[in-house]
Structure 1
């Protein structure tokens, strides 16, 4: 038996164990920068498996960096993500309902990062078992990467040097868009992701013109008062939408999303809102375009602050770079995905999917899942389909911060089909709860985890056991960066800020009533 066959067998034999692991992380449903239980769960499991674990790596409380070394050999990395999304609390059920004890406004896994992390974790553990059995030398590096939904931890880890001594990295994500399903990224990688908060502060309302000084109440009910931070946030929201079409030329696929984090308190007594925050997330093809966008919105913030008698601050949440291709790594990952095979959804998964269809008022059918989730797609074929969606000059599309690894070592990015109900003519789109629930139903999500874990394990073992493959990937990395880290075409980390852990991120809290969901002020 080969080391790779042994690893595949270990994954199959341990399915009940890791299936329960996935449900554990999925049920936690923690969100960005507040994944306390999830991070600690991984840290404890890694220590049990013989890894040295640094908790709170990069000064991020819910991050970690773990290593396990056996002899002298290359260092191969992968990582877990474990953040969900607020307002997506869904039970692992075939009907729409939140997890027990919570409202639907609480956190929940969507893509799902719960299965992302468990898949790579199981793959790394299988490789570790094979290294012991077959006396394979090398170091396994495994990172806990919180807050991917805000592009949070990887730019910080990269800037602090955590990736500088890696020889290769493997990035996995559950399928989320066609044609990137059961394939690997080839040329068109994710673009830059920039996220930041504008904070408007009205701390001198008494200096507003016309406020007067003849009342013992700072802002009497009949007196004019400063507009304040609530109005500033509202104007920022509106004016940003007005000018967004004039910031970046048309014909380029990009996006800008915003959400209001906090907006003052106690304004009913004719008091100006003292503080308000609005968060932006920009997904751009390049870092250069992101810088231009931020500068444009900064000018709006200046104008809005002047209008509303506020001052403003910008706090960075993320600056992630665009990706860098590595054909040698993509080919290797896809070769191992072929060996693992795509997901196959069995009779129990089909039955659960049809229960969902019935809950939606639809009839049961023989094949309820999207057929692409069970088909392999060669990377070059997926690349060609992706290019047909984009302008010829656009070289990056969508956003994910795995791209940070790409600039520090040869990196593969691959996708495996996750359970998704197939759209049928005349039925309309599926509501979001359907995809969310499928990520927590073991019979439906476990086939994806198994396929991805085997792909990770096989790719790791090839990188350890085939020096010529790693050498080819390294040579390509050096060529694309103009000499590796610090080379003439290398893009340095953009992160020049502290982890944004002090913002009012939604989180779970424990009260006399039990655990509850909270959206705190900063």
Structure 2
């Protein structure tokens, strides 16, 4: 740490704690990275965090919000503010990648299995380490306050945070810190200012053909006639296919083509019938929408609901629509961004070693790119002030659009003043302006400690020092809460406050046919299991 950077003794103690425990924490990160469990199926990852948090003295509620792989951990050092944060640990199907400088799935699993992309393994460890460092200082210095650390599964479906919010888990927070590896090159080491993440809504349509015999009643079958020669009901496969195609055709008419919105599909189930003249009985399709405003979300799902009813009628099915998630749009808090940014400025951007650069050059060589002395992008190696990052957003967005992309951290922002911290993750420098590296390059570096550790270790120091400011400086937290009350028209329940979009009694969608790893007599396998709708 450069001597000219003036940290308080408390902050110095926190930073020293991270440095002293970096080797152990690096091993911890690789543990989560090697689990690479997908959404709603992060059993090993959640259990690891629960065990570690209990060992650190936290009281832990497992299965919080009726989500088997979620948790809430609390540690108190006496009456004082409550600061919230979280770990994510879900991986993404179809991104299996070994930590090697070439495209190669992880050993022993399918190419289509899950892998950490952002990576959430590092996101979780960065936040976890920051909270542990703050806890160490609080206990050592006698600083009063409470830390509330969440395990948030299924972020790639924006899954758990809207549920925790709806069930009241965030209502007692005084402030919250959300950390993510950088997603925007112009905002690689910074904080969101005004333009926060947009809403994300997802819904599953289940088609069931329960009475195929009533499709046509042309009289009883008699004589030599056979049921295989009778017209069968179209059934659930046809329903899913019609829903898929009709909604593709309707996409042009759902919303105008501006505002950076996207609609994606996932077919969970199509079939449950033999190659026979039997009507397929069950089909499911999921739609996930990112759109800048809640009104745009409502308009799209009005069309999808209508399409589903018509497709069900045409195929002799009944249809049920069930929400997977509904998030709000992110609420800014400049005061939280300012206190976090001050600490980021003092700590500095992450820096990469010669060993990390050597791995980057190996990747470039494998792709036929002339290896560079410094293969890492310049954006990830310097800081960008939040207001300068905001200018970059405004250069590419229409004036009316105040939210972009999607992430479920936004549900924290409506219950406590929240900062969205970005730290630069290892990203390779392009040899030419139009060149784009394949995604596996980032995924591979996420499993190489010398490449990924500088990012989340930097984040942990920023998080720890920001927690200490919120608890001790007597200004930052009050300013953030005053701004929160102003923006919401009075805080939770205020005149401009947006309530959770899921009901308090919402049942988490853990029972669907999500991809997962299973143990069989053949060993551990990647599969999409059969389950009830």
Q: Which range, TM-score by smaller chain? A: over 0.9
SS of the aligned residue for 2:187 comes to coil
Residue pair 1:211, 1:223 contacting (<8 A) in 2 also: no
In structure 1, the residue corresponding to 2:207 is in which secondary structure? strand
C-alpha contact (below 8 Å) 2:185/2:380 kept by paired residues: no
Q: Distance in 1 between matches of 2:64 and 2:219?
A: 52
Post-superposition CA distance 1:255-279 (Å, at most 9, x none) = 1111111111334212221111111
Which shows bigger deviation, 315-324 or 242-251?
A: 242-251
- Asked if 1:82 is matched to 2:89, the reply is yes
1:219 is displaced (CA, Å) by 7.9
Matching of residue 515 in structure 1 with residue 509 in structure 2: no
Q: In structure 2, what is the equivalent of residue 123 of structure 1? A: 130
CA contact (8 A) 1:196 1:318 kept: yes
Aligned length: 522
Deviation track 1:77-129 (CA, whole Å, cap 9, x = no partner) reads 11000001011111112122222211111111011000000000000000011
Structure 1 residue 215 displacement after superposition: 6.8
Aligned to 1:171: 178
Aligned Cα RMSD in Å?
1.6
Once residues 38 and 211 of structure 1 are traced to their aligned partners in structure 2, the CA distance between those partners, rounded to angstroms, is 57
> Relative to 1, partners in 2 of residues 1:131 and 1:293: Cα closer, same or farther, differing over 3 Å?
same
Separation in 2, partners of 1:506, 1:337: 38
SS of the residue corresponding to residue 388 of structure 1 reads: helix
* Structure 2 residue 151 is the aligned partner of structure 1 residue 144: yes
Q: Secondary structure at the match of 2:326?
A: strand
Native 8 Å contact 2:236 2:270 kept in 1 = yes
Partner secondary structure for residue 195 of structure 1:
strand
Per the alignment, residue 411 of structure 1 pairs with 418
Q: Which residue in the other structure is 2:160 paired with?
A: 153
8 Å contact 1:211–1:224 — kept in the other structure? no
Match runs of 1:452-463 below 5 Å: 452-463=459-470
Contact 1:260 1:278 in 2 (8 A): yes
Aligned to 2:512: 503
Counterpart residue number, 1:249: 256
In 2, Cα distance between equivalents of 1:283 and 1:332: 30
CA-CA distance at 1:369 after TM superposition: 1.1
Alpha-carbon distance in 2 for matches of 1:281, 1:69: 39
User: Is 2:378 the partner of 1:363?
Assistant: no
Q: Which runs of 5+ in 2 are unaligned?
A: 1-7
Q: 2:271 matched to which residue of 1?
A: 264
- Taking structure 1 as the reference length, the TM-score comes to 0.97
Q: 1:226 to 1:471 in 2, by over 3 A?
A: same
Query: Which residue is 1:209 aligned to?
Result: 216
Cα distance change, pair 202–483 in 1 and its aligned pair in 2 (3 A): same
State how far apart, in whole Å, the 2-side matches of 1:323 and 1:218 are.
Answer: 63
1:402-425 deviations in whole A, cap 9, x for unaligned?
Answer: 000000010000100000112222
C-alpha deviation, 1:362, in angstroms: 2.4
- CA deviation digits over 1:208-246, x for unaligned, max 9? 126764179998443321111111111111111111121
CA distance in 1, matches of 2:327, 2:240: 25
Ranges in structure 1 where 5+ consecutive residues have no aligned partner = none
Show the counterpart of 1:395: 402
User: Is residue 268–residue 513 contact of structure 2 (8 Å, CA) maintained in 1?
Assistant: yes
Q: Deviations over 1:391-444 (max 9, x none)?
A: 111111111000000000100001000001122228842222111111111000
What is the TM-score of this pair, normalised by structure 2?
0.95
CA contact (8 A) 2:131 2:147 kept: yes
TM-superposed CA distance for 1:177, in Å, is 2.2
**8 Å Cα contact 2:221/2:227 also seen in 1:** no
Q: Deviations over 1:145-179 (max 9, x none)?
A: 00010010000100111000100000000012232
Partner Cα separation in structure 1 for residue 294 and residue 331 of structure 2: 13
Whole-angstrom distance in 2 between the partners of 1:506 and 1:276: 16
Residues 164 and 408, structure 1, Cα contact 8 Å, conserved in 2 = yes
SS in structure 2 at match of 1:499: coil
Conserved 8 A contact 1:230-1:275: yes
Q: How does 1:160-309 map to 2 (within 5 A)?
A: 160-209=167-216, 213-214=220-221, 220-309=227-316
Cα contact 1:219–1:271 (8 A) shared by 2? no
Shift of 1:19: 0.5
Larger mean CA deviation between 16-25 and 429-438 belongs to 429-438
Please give the residue correspondences for 1:338-377 in structure 2 after superposition, counting only pairs within 5 Å.
338-377=345-384
- Counterpart CA distance in 1 for 2:500 and 2:41 is 24
- Distance in 2, matches of 1:287 and 1:333, equals 29
